[in-house]
Amino acid sequence: MWLPTRLARPGLLQRLHAAPFVADTESGEENRRRGVRFVLDWLQAQPGDTWQQRLLASGAGQDGRTDWRTMPIRRRKATTGFDCRFDTAVLGTGLLTRICADVMRPEPAWLLTPATPKRLAAEMARTRDPAGFAELTALCQANPVGESTTRVALHRVAVIMAVKGGGVADITVGDCLQLLDVAADVCT
C-alpha cells in the first residue's frame, strides 16, 4: 500500500488541511473541510486498516450507478439523528480532496460515471500535477482539437492518475488502453 492511504486520522487531516488542497475562498475552504471531516467520519466507521480498504469495504467507489453520497448520509442520520441531505455537495468535495491527495484510489469504472465527484480534472490539475496539466492543455490548444475533446481527454488523464497514483508523466500507453476498455464497458 502507498503511504497516504496508511496515514492515521491526525496526520491525514494535517495533510488535507494544507496546501495545495486548501480552497481559494473562505467559504469554499469551510465547505471543503466540512466535507473532508464528513467523509473521514463515514470511512473511519468502515472495516479496514487503510483508507483504501475502508473505501472498498463501504461499497462506494465501485458502482457508479449508485449514488455513493447516500451511504455517509444514512450513516450520519442513523448515528446522530441529523438529516444532512443538503451536504451532498460538501461530500463530493471531501471525497475529491482525498482522491487528489492519493489517499484512496477508486475503481476506474466508478470515476467514469456521473455520480462520482465533480471537477476531478480541474482539482488534479490544481493539486497534484499543475505543470503536467498545463503542458497537456497547451498541446491541445496548439493543435486543432475541440474543447469537448480536450475536456474528455483531461478528465480521462485525471481518472488514470486517480486510479494509479502519480502524475501525468507517469501514465503509460497500457494505462490508456486499459481505461479505453473500461470506458467501452461503462460509457454506453
What ranges make up the beta strands (E) of the chain? Answer: none
Q: pTM above 0.85?
A: yes
Tens digit of each residue's pLDDT, the chain (188 residues): 899 999 999 999 999 999 999 999 999 999 899 999 989 999 999 999 999 999 999 988 666 667 777 888 888 888 887 766 667 778 888 889 999 999 999 888 888 876 667 899 999 999 999 999 999 999 988 988 888 889 989 999 999 999 999 999 999 999 999 999 999 988 76
CA dihedral (122, 123, 128, 133) in degrees, to 10, reads 0
Contact present, 182 and 108 (Cβ < 8 Å)? yes
CA distance 95 to 115: 12
CA distance 159 to 164: 8
Contact present, 119 and 159 (Cβ < 8 Å)? no
What's the angle, vertex CA 123, arms to CA 56 and CA 113, rounded to 5? Answer: 50
Query: How far is residue 128 from each of residues 9, 101, 123, 150, 175, measured CA to CA in Å?
Result: 21, 7, 8, 19, 18
10 Å CB burial of residue 142 (0-12, 13-18, 19+) is exposed
